[in-house]
Chains A and B, each alone.
Chain A
Amino acid sequence: MLLSKNSALESKDNEIFEVEESIAIQSELIKTMTTMVNSKAYVNERNQMVPEARCRKQANYHVEQNNKIVDEELSDWESKFFEVDMDDLHELFMAANYLEIESLLNGVTKRVGDFIKACKNVEVIRQTFGINNDFAAQQEEEIRKLNSWNHI
């Protein structure tokens, strides 16, 4: 692993991460900020708005591993990485969205999608995600008609 320039990134809760620059650039946001600063001597970003330190770490870890592993191992590793509960997933989602890391975002999106697919009908979706039915009676009737082929 070539030791290129390291960026120091500070998160909202004031933890500083040393990250290899090539990895940091995977985040579109950081990339933009870096090019804006345009400094050759150092790349030292203060990233005040970033959420929880933990998901930053996870994001970095993911990105780093992304660079190392071959395809088959990667898919195994990814499925384990995303086997977290909804709260963690949500944090990952927010982090990936804010930092604009596309691969991480895709992974989390797919995982949440799999959660929904695993639900076999509407009630199970509601239970899984703690969602209430807020349809008016008329709306509900329309939806039932439209989805009669699906036997909802």
Chain B
Amino acid sequence: MDTLLHPSTSSMAKRPCPSSAENPMLPSSFSQMDNLLLSFLSLSDSSPPVSLDLSFDRLLESAPSDADQSLLIDRAHNLGSLLLRAANRSARKRASLHNSIAWALPPDLTIKVFSMLDSQSLCYAAATCSMFNKCAMDPLCYANIDLTTVVPKVNNAVVSTMIQRAGKSFRSLKLGIVPGPTSSPGSCQPLVYSIRNSVDVSSFSWNDKKTRQGKESSILTRSCLYPLSGDNGAAGTLLRRLHLYNIERMDNASFCVALAACPSLLDLEIVGLHVELRQTLISVSSNCHLIERLFFESSKTGRDDSLKSPTCVDLVNNCPNISSLSLRGFKLQDYKVRILVKGFRKLKYADFSTSYLISGTFLRNLGSGFGGNLLEVLILRDCMHLKEVEVARFLTAVLAGDFKFLRYLDISNREGLASEGDWYQRSYNSSIIPLKQVLEVRPNICLLAEFPSEGCYIDIDHMFDSDVNSEISLPSQLSSHTSDGSLLMSSSESSYNSDQGSGNEEYQVSGFVIYEESSDEVDFLVV
């Protein structure tokens, strides 16, 4: 390094070199190099501003040969870049030092803070400075990975990276497209989200451009869950909670492979995936024996009727810990639902909203003995074939003391409840349902019974138009109903005796109706 400098020292001999003697502030240990550098750097402060490039030009002109000129230029490049690098490095060091003072928390506390952040904020923090970056790589920060977004922008690589970073702390994974921050899975609004229905079109089209740039790299494909199976299923074994929303490309095979890698799963929530109910439940009952919560919302409302009774029996036998079960938007027959509700001994939360075919007979004789008596929440919202007579029967049982733990019941239906004989006929003003009595006798129950106002004629066709995702054709629906109707008659248990209500007539509740004020506002009947 020094040898490089010697020739240039001679050409710069015109400039005065301050020695240690002249400047008492300099340590005597400063080498010749240090002095040189110091005097060079002080050039930028000199009062008639020094013009480096003019000076350099003069040097070049005075160079004896062309080769010497090239040499000078090379040296200028080298030294210039060395100096620049040194300055940048020092600037970074100083910035880091400043940061550690400004953010005075030690790393372990910083990691603790970061572990409370959602994945997106965590990534922002990691991009802030090197100290944050290091802390943000700690596995604790990735215990609960939430990569749900409003528009598609996450790809498989991101999922894989985060799962890898989680290491042994990996506990929970949420993935997919969730429309807006306000809707929560607990609400009864259908979550199935279609790109076409995207509300925030402007931001989505910008993302779309990015997508094309990255060659569709912002889409989750069906292999997005492969990291769960990798390394002998190391990650999958740790997973306790898995929530997947509207991953268009997920299919049965890939999903079942993923489930097979997660034996410790406690909470599974699937919304809008193109997977078959039966296959998924088979996979759950084969692999996830510890599962406690199952929330499954169909991507094709009313068209998946794959569920079979042996599947229900297997699920009940292999997954005894299920305390929360939601199957929304499927075709479910009463006898199959009955297997589930009676079979899960610990069942507290049951949600069969937007189900087709169930008429409510599965509720008969449920609340007293084994199975169903622990039920705290029952949601049967918008079940098209739910009969008012069965609801009445159920509420009578509640009045009689069954379902001791029931605290929330939702039998609202935007088309009203089905009448006894023909499910076409709807009942909006149910006089046989003892709503008032239930509220008096069991005041702690929160009871939702929203029906459209009396006299508003709902076209049968309109019923199907209102559901964007379903394409149920009329004749097949009718035929399946009647065929199942006969099935119901034969296979339901001999429980017609007790609940048949002469009691029903006593509880004439005339004025107890929920009317819609406007098309969207509905009064809740809440206690």
Contact = CB atoms under 8 A, between A and B. Distances in A.
Q: Do A and B bind each other?
A: yes
Interface of A: 90, 93, 97, 105, 109-110, 112-113, 116-117, 119, 121-122, 125-126, 129-136, 139, 143-144, 146-152
B87 interface: no
B110 to A, nearest CB: 9
Interface in B394-415: none
A131 B102 contact: yes
Interface in B59-110: 88-89, 91-93, 95-96, 98-99, 102-105, 109
B113 A113 contact: yes
Contact of B113 (A116, A144, A151, A152): A116
Interface in B187-234: 210, 214, 218
Contacts of A136: 88-89, 92
B128 A126 contact: yes
Contacts of B504: none
B161 A146 contact: yes
Given A119-B121, A119-B124, A147-B123, A134 B113 contact: no
A134 B210 CA distance: 28
Pick from B129, B132, B161 the residue with the most CB of A within 10 Å.
B129
B488 interface: no
A133 B99 CA distance: 9
A130 B129 CA distance: 11
Contacts of B96: 134
B48 to A, nearest CB: 34
B465 interface: no
A134 B96 CA distance: 6
A133 B500 CA distance: 75
B129 A152 contact: no
Pick from B98, B105, B161 the residue with the most CB of A within 10 Å.
B105
B153 A125 contact: no
Contacts of A150: 120, 123-124, 153
B125 interface: yes
A149 B113 contact: no
Interface in B154-207: 154-155, 158, 161
B455 to A, nearest CB: 43
Contacts of B120: 150
B128 A131 contact: yes
Contacts of B377: none
A136 B113 CA distance: 25
Given A131-B103, A136-B88, A151-B153, A122 B117 contact: no
B133 A143 contact: yes
A112 B114 CA distance: 9
B102 A130 contact: yes
B118 interface: yes
A145 to B, nearest CB: 10
Contact of B130 (A125, A130, A135, A152): A135
Nearest to B120: A150
Contacts of A151: 153, 210
Given A97-B109, A109-B112, A113-B116, A129 B102 contact: yes
B133 A121 contact: no
B104 A90 contact: yes
Given A116-B117, A131-B99, A122 B161 contact: no
B132 A131 contact: yes
Contacts of A134: 91-93, 95-96, 99, 129-130
Nearest to B97: A134
Given A116-B121, A148-B214, A93 B105 contact: yes
Contacts of A152: 123-124, 127
Given A90-B105, A148-B214, 9 more contacts: A109-B112, A113-B117, A131-B103, A132-B129, A134-B93, A134-B129, A143-B126, A143-B127, A150-B124
Interface in B222-271: none
A97 B89 CA distance: 34
Nearest to B159: A149
Contacts of B125: 116, 125
Contacts of A125: 124-125, 128
Contacts of A143: 126-127, 133
A90 to B, nearest CB: 6
A112 B113 CA distance: 7
Contacts of A130: 102-103
Contact of A149 (B109, B127, B130, B158): B158
A135 B89 CA distance: 9
A119 B124 CA distance: 9
Closest 3 CB pairs of A and B: A113-B116, A134-B95, A132-B95
B306 to A, nearest CB: 34
A52 to B, nearest CB: 14
Given A112-B113, A122-B124, A148-B214, A135 B92 contact: yes
A116 B153 CA distance: 22
A151 B391 CA distance: 51
A134 to B, nearest CB: 4
Contacts of A148: 210, 214
A102 B513 CA distance: 51
Contacts of B105: 90, 93
Contacts of B127: 122, 143-144, 147, 152
A109 B130 contact: no
A20 to B, nearest CB: 28
A113 B109 CA distance: 11
A133 B116 contact: no
Contacts of B99: 131-132, 134
Contacts of B155: 149
A131 to B, nearest CB: 5
Given A126-B128, A148-B214, A110 B116 contact: yes
Given A130-B102, A149-B154, A109 B95 contact: no
Nearest to B218: A149
A121 to B, nearest CB: 6
Contacts of B158: 149
Contacts of A122: 124, 127-128
